[in-house]
Structure formats: structure tokens, C-alpha cells
């Protein structure tokens, strides 16, 4: 069975050739940026980027290499967007984890260690306090 057949069999209550595997096809099945960073180092692939596509929950988008490495059957359709290197920029999370954020998201570090997000009118619309992971 290919991945599509495996998932459809499971959804239709037929026995697939194996358990369908998902990591990151939705934010609720995703992997946190910190866990993604740690996993890629554990398996000896620190060169893979940790791209945070869900900036509110700090969820990483597993790259094609990781999907292949773990035989992932389900992917997020949103992978079609922000697929160029110039769509991302390097940043370090407050805990020291190096990641990439999409270029449309630019939090501002504050003197107290918090990160603030401002709208186009300069109004603060979100704050991640010091010590928070998201």
C-alpha cells in the first residue's frame, strides 16, 4: 500500500498493511520546535532546518527528509506555502534553540525578556512572557 491507500483503509475501518504514521499534518499532531530540534540532533541530522510554521504554538514543520526518514504517511497541505528559503529567517528562541520563523512574523524582544508582536498600526497584539515556550 502507498501512504494514501494506508490512510484511506484505516479511515474506512479496513486493515492497512501498517499503522498510518502522522507527524505534523495538523497542529494537533505536530511536533514542537524544541522537540524537533532535539530529535534532528538525536538522529544525527543537525543540518535539517527547524521551521516554525505555527508561531503561536511554536510547532515545527517537518521537512521532506524527516518525513522520509520516519515513513510519514500524512502531510499538511500548508507545506505548499512558504516553501522557499527566502520565506524564512533565522532566530533564536528564548531557551536558546535556533529555529527559523516565516518572514511575515517578526516578534520584538523586550527588555524584560518578553517577546511582543505588533500590528501594522504599532498596537501590541500579543506577548510571550519571559520563560514561556509559546
pLDDT of residue 50: 96
CA 134 – CA 131 distance, rounded (Å): 9
Strand partners for 73: none
pLDDT of residue 114: 92
Contact call for residues 66 and 76 (beta carbons, < 8 A): no
Q: What is the pLDDT of residues 13-22, one digit of tens each?
A: 999 999 999 9
Name every residue whose Cβ is closer than 8 Å to that of residue 10 and which is 6 or more positions away in sequence: 16, 19, 20
Which residue's entry shows cell 529567517? 89
Write out residues in the chain with pLDDT < 50, as ranges.
none
pLDDT of residue 133: 74
pLDDT of residue 77: 86
With the CA atoms of 75, 80, 84 and 88 taken in that order, what torsion angle do they form, in degrees rounded to the nearest 10? -70
pLDDT of residue 123: 96
Give the predicted TM-score (pTM) of the model: 0.84
Amino acid at each position: 500500500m502507498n501512504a494514501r491507500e494506508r490512510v484511506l483503509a484505516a479511515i474506512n475501518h479496513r486493515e492497512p498493511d501498517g499503522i498510518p504514521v502522522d507527524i505534523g499534518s495538523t497542529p494537533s499532531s505536530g511536533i514542537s520546535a524544541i522537540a524537533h530540534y532535539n530529535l534532528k540532533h538525536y538522529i544525527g541530522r543537525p543540518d535539517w532546518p527547524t521551521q516554525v510554521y505555527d508561531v503561536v504554538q511554536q510547532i515545527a514543520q517537518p521537512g521532506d527528509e524527516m518525513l522520509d526518514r520516519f515513513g510519514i504517511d500524512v502531510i499538511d497541505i500548508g507545506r505548499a506555502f512558504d516553501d522557499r528559503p527566502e520565506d524564512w529567517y533565522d532566530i533564536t528562541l528564548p531557551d536558546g534553540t535556533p529555529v527559523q520563523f516565516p518572514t511575515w512574523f517578526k516578534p520584538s524582544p523586550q527588555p524584560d525578556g518578553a517577546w511582543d508582536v505588533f500590528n501594522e498600526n504599532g498596537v501590541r497584539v500579543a506577548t510571550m512572557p519571559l520563560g514561556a515556550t509559546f
